[in-house]
Amino acid sequence: MNSSVAFERELTQLLPRLRRFAHTLSRNSADADDLTQTCVERALRSRAQWQPGTRLDSWLYRIMRNLWIDTVRARGRKERHEAPEEEAQNIGEDPRGAMDSSLELKRAMNAMERLSDEQREVVALILVEGFGYREVSQMLDLPIGTVSSRLVRGRTALLSMLGVAADG
């Protein structure tokens, strides 16, 4: 099979995971969709930089995280110079989609959103996406001890918010 076709096939298979991570970072469905699309576009344009034999998912998560950091910085600059659009963002939202979710999932997602950005991204990559500590350490360019510490603090905070004993 052509390496380009294999790349695109694997990228397509990773889309649900990328979208989930984008939502974890952005905490907003529309922003998650935009972030996922931008990540895929960047990956397709930069596919020559990916090294076959390495994990495509790790490479894509790193691209997405860097794009999100750029987005947050740009928003900060924009907010200093423009009026907020909060009222316009809420017009026409259909609440039925949220009502279809289970109560436990909502509680868990709400708890995830209350974690610090650093804890949330480590919890999402390790507990939700299933990456190992070393992989996350490399993806986020952090010492493995920092990853471990953020995971423990994030997991403890999540369990506390959900009313679950941390030792169980």
Q: Look-up: residue for tokens 């999100």?
A: 68
Residues 1-7: contacts with CB under 8 Å, at least 24 apart? 3/52, 4/47, 7/47, 7/50, 7/56
Q: How far is CA 89 from CA 26, 28, 84, in A?
A: 15, 11, 10
Asked whether 136 and 122 are in contact (CB, 8 A), the reply is yes
**pLDDT tens per residue, range 76-127:** 776 665 555 665 565 555 555 555 455 677 777 788 889 898 999 999 899 8
Q: Please tell me whether the overall predicted TM-score, pTM, comes out greater than 0.75 for this model.
A: no
CATH hierarchy code of domain 101-168: 1.10.10.10
**pLDDT tens per residue, range 32-70:** 999 999 999 999 999 989 888 889 999 999 999 999 998
Q: Look-up: residue for tokens 């471990």?
A: 148
Q: Domain segments of the chain: what residues?
A: 1-93, 101-168
**Hey, which CATH number is domain 1-93, 3.40.50.1220, 1.10.1740.10, 1.10.3720.10, 3.90.950.20?**
1.10.1740.10
